[in-house]
Structure 1
């Protein structure tokens, strides 16, 4: 059978004549192919070695410590805190208006008249009985002089009646004067003595009315207000001419919910801070309202505060009432979270798993948040990063010191 061969013969190849350029290109291509082949062999060897190491580690016995350590290192590190229990002060915050503890209105005690002088100004300190203002008393002075003169007249009549009675008593034994005359002269003497007493009483009353023309301070304290001027005509219907804070003591009328009213007692300390001031002043609850407002369900606590120029009646202030203490765990605010179900914290159990725990918080202050329900104090509580955790997630806890 005859056929044509497609195989190159050596003789035919030897008969092909190649130039230098073609030979150079073929040598360069051969070197590149050899280099690529070497690189491929090396890469395959490296992959085989790495795969062999991975298989050896996977096949290593479970008793070796390398595998558990590697898994633990892969878990996220979470800082936890064991809060314990401690005494946490119960502080109730409130606001209210400042006023004088004993606001004394001072008016005209007598019939009044035209004011001649005003002797004090708002902000002055006065003592009990000090004259605040005077009312013209020229008419009352003349009336008092008239009554004093009448007393002298009545005393003269009394002296004459007494003298006539004594002369009659001397003549009655001789029979010149009857017993009836003695009785009439005695009655005349007694009537003259009574008229003297009446005149003296009228003079005393006039002087008392004249003394009431001096408007005086009923007690020592601080003058808060003045509603009187010289030349003004005042009377019993003029209202309060002065207002005095007795002893200068102020008070804060704090409004409290019914639940807080049950926790506050008379005598507990209070820190009062006026609006616009960074300074707090120490006071004490001196009276609790016996009733609760039916509309607002609030009561009123009256907090006594010593005088200070920053405590002005009518001003607004805040109060922090210390209503005792509770024994509870204290956590930083970063450890307590909240959602639609309420407040909660994340715990780490003995297996390293994250557990949600619902809690009820109490006082929130600079030291942290008091947990009044939900924690015993010996749990490992996630300190922060709770928003990035999920219940059941395994973590590696790292203990931190409890905040004190």
Structure 2
């Protein structure tokens, strides 16, 4: 009974609409607007001119720029005092440690005594020379008088021979005295050398800092016997300066120059980035790893710790250029292209792409001008002359409104739009 009632009601309504066509026209839904079946919805971006920075990523370890080894310069004596420890700052000339000097002090005293004895021998030799010189002068004068007397017949040959013998003996004594002085002077020089060595060794019992800096290692211990050929007693980082030692692949090493700016991130350091410059580039590459080494001096290098890991970027180039989103560049076997949109039509454009920037944009070296619009997604699916409709721009703050499509299946981006429901 209920079904029969519903059927009758429906027939009555249809009859009423047939009797009043104007009413039917007013209540029927309007047909959907027809869409261009050849158009595709696309997301685009504008080619922009901006500053392009080319960076090379590197990583490595913080190391002392210059580490100075402090060794003992004497052997066989015990350390009796240590004045510094690891991490302390020292100035050039500061006493780091003291070695027991009692034996060396005694050696210096003995050397001073030997030097005094040698000086006394020199004085004695000089006195001997003076004495023999006087005797030689007298003997020579006596010989001359005797020879004159012999010539005049007033003396005998025996007295003349005696005078000659006396003069010869005086000359021999004078020569011996001269030799004695030379020997005594040589002994003074030797004693002086021994005294200087003893004094030097005594001074070496005070281990001093050869440079200003920070103590990075201490091997010295109270009571330890030092050896000149042993391990260093201390290590000092000159001026406390720490720098980055980083490895670079050989293909990138040639792009880096001394003085290039560097931005580093150091593990555990409160600053987000530390600025620096390339100080040194290794002239060789490891034949096994194919890596080269660079040294980077960092600002506030004295506040860093050696051995810490750090990553960095080396800025090798900075210039103005045109960029587009990297997704807009299509790379194929025959080269690189972008799809330029002009008046709703696609133009396939050959380009030469450059570097990829940190914000994900690709440099276009040639083939595109600033201000031109390119498809940023699915560009490989379009050909010259294709019709497109822009639905969004990657530079817009909000996407442009998308043409309406049936609610049950929205038209996907980058594909032809479906026509309205018939």
Q: Indicate the TM-score class for this superposition, using the shorter chain for normalisation.
A: 0.7 to 0.9
- Please name the residue that 1:287 is paired with: 280
- Identify the match of residue 297 of structure 1 among 270, 290, 308: 290
**Cα distance, 1:50–1:288 mapped onto 2, change above 3 Å:** same
* Equivalent runs, 1:118-133 vs 2, <5 Å: 118-133=82-97
- Please name the residue that 2:105 is paired with: 141
Q: Does 1:317 align with 2:310?
A: yes
Could you say what secondary structure the match of 1:376 adopts? coil
- Please name the residue that 2:160 is paired with: none
Q: Does 1:94 align with 2:87?
A: no
| Rounded Cα–Cα distance in structure 1 between residues aligned with 2:250 and 2:59 | 15
**Cα distance, 1:200–1:42 mapped onto 2, change above 3 Å:** same
| Rounded Cα–Cα distance in structure 2 between residues aligned with 1:187 and 1:389 | 107
Q: Does 1:197 align with 2:189?
A: yes
| Rounded Cα–Cα distance in structure 2 between residues aligned with 1:259 and 1:205 | 56
- Please name the residue that 1:42 is paired with: 20
| Rounded Cα–Cα distance in structure 1 between residues aligned with 2:89 and 2:196 | 32
Q: By how many angstroms is 1:281 displaced? A: 2.0
Contact conserved, 1:354 with 1:395, CA < 8 A, in 2? no
* Equivalent runs, 1:383-394 vs 2, <5 Å: 386=377, 390-391=381-382, 392=386, 394=388
CA shift digits 1:299-355 (9 cap, x unpaired)? 21121225545521111001110101244322356x557899999765324443385
| Rounded Cα–Cα distance in structure 1 between residues aligned with 2:284 and 2:200 | 44
Contact conserved, 2:351 with 2:364, CA < 8 A, in 1? no
Q: Does 1:168 align with 2:125?
A: no
| Rounded Cα–Cα distance in structure 2 between residues aligned with 1:163 and 1:145 | 27
| Rounded Cα–Cα distance in structure 2 between residues aligned with 1:114 and 1:161 | 43
- Please name the residue that 1:81 is paired with: 45
**Cα distance, 1:306–1:107 mapped onto 2, change above 3 Å:** farther
| Rounded Cα–Cα distance in structure 2 between residues aligned with 1:115 and 1:254 | 39
**Cα distance, 1:211–1:364 mapped onto 2, change above 3 Å:** same
* Equivalent runs, 1:160-239 vs 2, <5 Å: 160-175=124-139, 178-239=170-231
Q: Does 1:265 align with 2:257?
A: yes
Q: TM-score, normalised by structure 2?
A: 0.71
Gaps of 5+ in 2: 1-7, 143-166, 398-422
Gaps of 5+ in 1: 1-29, 55-66
Q: By how many angstroms is 1:164 displaced? A: 2.6
Contact conserved, 1:128 with 1:219, CA < 8 A, in 2? yes
- Please name the residue that 1:17 is paired with: none
Contact conserved, 2:45 with 2:373, CA < 8 A, in 1? yes
Relative contact order (C-alpha < 8 Å, sep 6+): which is higher?
A: 2
Q: TM-score, normalised by structure 1?
A: 0.74
Contact conserved, 2:51 with 2:319, CA < 8 A, in 1? yes
